[in-house]
Structure 1
Amino acid sequence: MGIDLALVWAVIILFGILMYVIMDGFDLGIGILFPFFKEEHDRNVMMNTVAPVWDGNETWLVLGGAGLLAAFPLAYAVILHAFMLPLIFMLLGLIFRGVAFEFRFKAHETGRHWWDKAFIFGSVCATFFQGVTLGGFIQGIPVVDGNYTGGTLGWLTPFSVFTGLGLLVAYGLLGSTWLVLKTHGELHDRMRSLARPLTWTLLGVIVIISIWTPLTHPDIAQRWFSLPNLFWFAPVPILVALTAWYLLRCLGREPHGGPFILTLVLIFLGYSGLGISVWPNIIPPDISIWQASGPPQSQGFTLVGALLIIPMILGYTGWSYYVFRGKVSVDDGYH
């Protein structure tokens, strides 16, 4: 029995996207939270918590895109065609965020506020259009004979806009709980207070999307609510409720790492729910990973490289986070 290369590559791409959402999500979240903190020393600490690691986090986005091209060229072509504009806006946001990140530390105090604004704009823009792309993807992509048949603005719908706003909340919660982990004193306490309403808001977003999606997509409703699927998938919403409850309880104490870990669990459960809704279609609503699969020779050749590179990425990522572990303060840096 041979290896199902399409399935292996689907798992790799899903893993890469999840790692990107988790690891780039909290530093984008810091940019989203910037407008709530006006003091220069607070903003310096917030940026210093991710300064050593932020650019490496985007490696996972490159892995996901390159893997899609190598393993599922049809999906790569259709998805890029369908979401060309939001992906361009997302990349522009990432460019603004990256340039602002580097130049802010070198700017004079009189001009630093411009780079702060660019950092906020880049973070919000990149996050919002990631969410819009996700929403458009869940809604489905019209394809005839392997070609995208929708319009230039086919991705722009009330649902996709809502998912864009929802992702802002999710990344904001990731950023706040990351700063609960990495800071102390007044900034730590303010982040803990901010994380509580963000948790409630994200829980509301999850509930709305969980209702909206099956109401507008009968095939997704059939998948979730038919028997025996209902019994298999019921743990996902139950675990979401339990995780959110424990996160709120943890924030009411003297938390450090707990809220961030619980937020990661909440993000993973939401990601799993979306995966259940569309699997195994890589171009919703009806083109599966096997239908969009590239030649086995190409998948096998690139898989060798992926299996060599992914452990290296995990290794240097883990090492960098280990080296820069601990709290960050204005005067002392890491300690």
Structure 2
Amino acid sequence: MKAGHWGDDPEVLRDSSDNGVIRVRRLEELGVPATTAYRRCGPGGPWTRLLPGIVLLSNAPPTRPQQVAAALLYGGPEAILTGAEACRTLGLRNVPEKCTLVHLLVPHGRRLHNYDYVHVERTHRMPKVLNRRGLPVSEPTRAVLDGCRRMTELRPVRALLTEAVQRSFTTYERLIQELEVGSRRGSAVPRLVLAEMAGGAESVAELDAVRLWKRSGLPEPQWNKPLFSRSGAYLGKPDAWFEQVGLAWEIDSLAFHAGAEGFARTLSRNARYAAAGVLVLPTLPARLRTDPEEVIAELKGAYAAAAALPAPAVRSVA
């Protein structure tokens, strides 16, 4: 396109952009002088300057995908997403809405600085890159821990780490390994949560259950171990299994057990437990926080009741 003729077909500019986001350098290649591009980003102009050298071909507020596209253009061809935005892109749900920074990883030799909503981390340890929806994203273990390092509260870190493990985005072992070789900055909270998870808890509710069990004075149960009858038939995977007395403690969330399918699944599990002589104590996750003393009393009572019954013919698998 010849200089000065770009205005005759503005769609050419949009076709050369990423969702309406484009470098000023690319605009110059298309015949738009840099002075013209920045002037059109001025008050009342039709375009918007998002980041240094990056323009949105609209004066409407940028969407999140447009902000992310601008950040990656700002970071350059070697930049990849990590942290909260990478976790969202990978499909993790427990990412706090207030985590709005776009966290980029770039090779250590780059001279690039934070700007506005973009956080740039220069690293000697560039992770494996995945392509998700056309975006370069860090592999999950690094993305999750990079996100957690920027959180200061325990509960959202618990939620993200346990979801990542529970949904098989990563494993406890890989998280521990990455924590040990990665940056120490901001690692205190995820380190504490991983120490909590060491016993086998796979969700925030189970971590709450662990804390209540510690206050109960009861012997330590096995956490999340499959349970089988003596004949080898699968019974279930109780959140906590008190093998000493044959008590299964299940933290039954409404999200997992609601609806016809979830209700049927729960009834089938409980029927298998009953047929094998296993006493079950079901607890709603919310009660672990709203009624902790009552839950502890129920747990002690169920333990005593199970101890008074004949030992069930079952076995757990480590």
**Shorter-chain TM-score: what band?**
under 0.3
TM-score normalised per structure 1? 0.20
Higher helix residue share: 1
Higher RCO (CA < 8 A, seq sep 6+): 1
TM-score normalised per structure 2? 0.21
Higher strand residue share: 2
